[in-house]
Amino acid sequence: MHRKLPFFAVILVFACGSLLARAPQQQQAPPPPAQKPVQGGQSIVTNVRLVDILFSVVNHRQRFVTDLEQSDFKVSEDGQAQQIRFFSRQTDLPLRIALLLDTSNSIRERLTFEQDAAVNFLYNVMRPDRDQAFLMTFDQDPDVILDFTNDMDKLRDTIQAQRAGGGTALYEAIMKASDKLAKAPLTKNADPDVRRILVVISDGEDNLSGHTRVDAIEAAQRAGTVMYPVSTSTEWVSPDESNDMAKRMDRKVMKNEGDKVLEAFADETGGRAFFPYHVDDVAQSFQDIGTELRSQYSLAYIPTNGISDGKYRKIKIEIGSRKGLEVRTRKGYYATPPIMITPAGERISGQGQ
C-alpha cells in the first residue's frame, strides 16, 4: 500500500513462539506504531510474519561452539527452505526462571535432594542484578509459593521450608508455570527480550493431572519456554554404589518411564534433561545450564507459509559448513495470530510469543 504521508511507518507482523519475545497478552490491542520520515513523503506498510529462533551449537565433545556466522546455517520449516533475514549471538539476556519442585509422596525420601538441587541451581545460574525467579511446588495441585523475585536468601529459605505429601500433578504444574512465565516481568528499561527458563526437579511421574503430556509441552512451546528437567529417580542406585563408574554409565541408558517423560519435555522445547545421582553431580549440571544460556545464537526468517492458522510448524536448523556439530533448539512453533514490531526488531505492541 502506497500513499502520501509526512511520515513513514514500517510494521513487521510477528508470531513465532519466540524464546526472546514477550509472551502473548490475549485480547489486548496494540498501541499505534512508531512513524519515521522517508524521502518523497511515502508511507509503506509491510505485512509479514517473522519467526525468531534461539539455539545453541555443540561439538562431539558437547562443548559449545560460539564462533559461527549466519552463512554457516540453513533453516527449513515443514521441509521447505527458508531465507534467514536476521542473525545474532545472544549471550547475556536476562533470565526469567520458573523453579518447579515436586513435593508429592512419590519423592518424599528424596525431598532433601530436590531442595539442595534447587538452591544449587539458583546460586550457580541466577544473577540477582539481572534475573528473577519464582518457586512453584506441586503435589495434587500446583501452587506458587513465592512470586518473581531476585532475593536469593528468600528463595533459598522458602525452598528449604517445603514438605512432601499428596499425589502428583506434574503436567498441570508445567502448564500453570508456562502461563506465568508468559507474563513474566520485563527488565528495568522495559526490554521484552528475556529468556524464559522452566526448571523441573521431579521423578517425572504424574497421576492426577487432568491434562496430558502433549498439553503440557504445547503450553511450554506457546510461552516460548525452554525446559531443563532434573531427575530425582535415583532410588535404584544404593548409597554404596553411588561412586561406581559402571553404574554411572548405566544411568545414561537405564532410564525409567519418568525419566523418559522429562527427556521428552527437554527435547521438545530445546532444553536438556539431567540425570544425576546425588547433589554433588547436580552442581556441574547447573553450571552446564548456565553456560548454555549464555552461549546461544538467534536467527529469524519470514516463512513461505504465512497463514496464521494456529497449527504446529516443524523447524530444522542445519550447519552446512562444518561437520560434527549438533544444533540444540525447539522442534517448532505454533502459527498463532501476529503481533507488531518495529523494523529494527523492537516490539511496540507489548505482545508476542
| Cβ atoms < 10 Å from Cβ of 80 | 11
Q: What percent of the chain has pLDDT over 90?
A: 38
Instruction: Provide the β-strand partners of residue 81.
Output: 76
Placement of cell 547475556 in the chain: 92
Q: Are residues 104 and 195 in the same domain?
A: yes
Whether 7 maps to a domain, the answer reads: yes
pLDDT, tens digit (0-9, with 9 covering 90-100), for 122-169: 888 888 999 999 999 999 889 999 999 999 999 999 999 999 988 889
Q: Are residues 35 and 6 in the same domain?
A: yes
Q: Are residues 257 and 169 in the same domain?
A: yes
Q: Are residues 268 and 130 in the same domain?
A: yes
Q: Cα(180)–Cα(190) distance, rounded to whole angstroms?
A: 18
Whether 352 maps to a domain, the answer reads: no
Q: Are residues 148 and 263 in the same domain?
A: yes
| Cβ atoms < 10 Å from Cβ of 278 | 15
Domains contained in the chain, number = 2
Q: Cα(73)–Cα(301) distance, rounded to whole angstroms?
A: 12
| Model confidence at 239: pLDDT above 50 | no
- Distance of alpha carbon 270 from the chain centroid: 7
Q: Which domain holds residue 302?
A: 2-84+298-341
Strands 132-138 and 95-102: parallel
Q: Cα(280)–Cα(238) distance, rounded to whole angstroms?
A: 16
Q: Are residues 172 and 23 in the same domain?
A: no
Q: Cα(16)–Cα(155) distance, rounded to whole angstroms?
A: 32
DSSP3 helix / strand / coil % (the chain, rounded to 5): 25, 30, 45
pLDDT, tens digit (0-9, with 9 covering 90-100), for 305-344: 988 888 899 999 999 878 889 998 988 988 876 554 444 4
Whether 346 maps to a domain, the answer reads: no
| DSSP-assigned letters across all residues of 73-88 | EEEEETTEEE-EEEEE
Q: Are residues 161 and 59 in the same domain?
A: no
Whether 347 maps to a domain, the answer reads: no
Q: Are residues 62 and 101 in the same domain?
A: no
Placement of cell 548454555 in the chain: 292
Q: Are residues 210 and 102 in the same domain?
A: yes
Q: Which three cell numbers, joined as nine digits, stand for 267? A: 527435547
The CATH number given to whatever domain includes residue 282 is: 3.40.50.410
| Model confidence at 246: pLDDT above 70 | no
Whether 120 maps to a domain, the answer reads: yes
Q: Are residues 21 and 63 in the same domain?
A: yes
Q: Are residues 333 and 251 in the same domain?
A: no
Q: Are residues 282 and 151 in the same domain?
A: yes
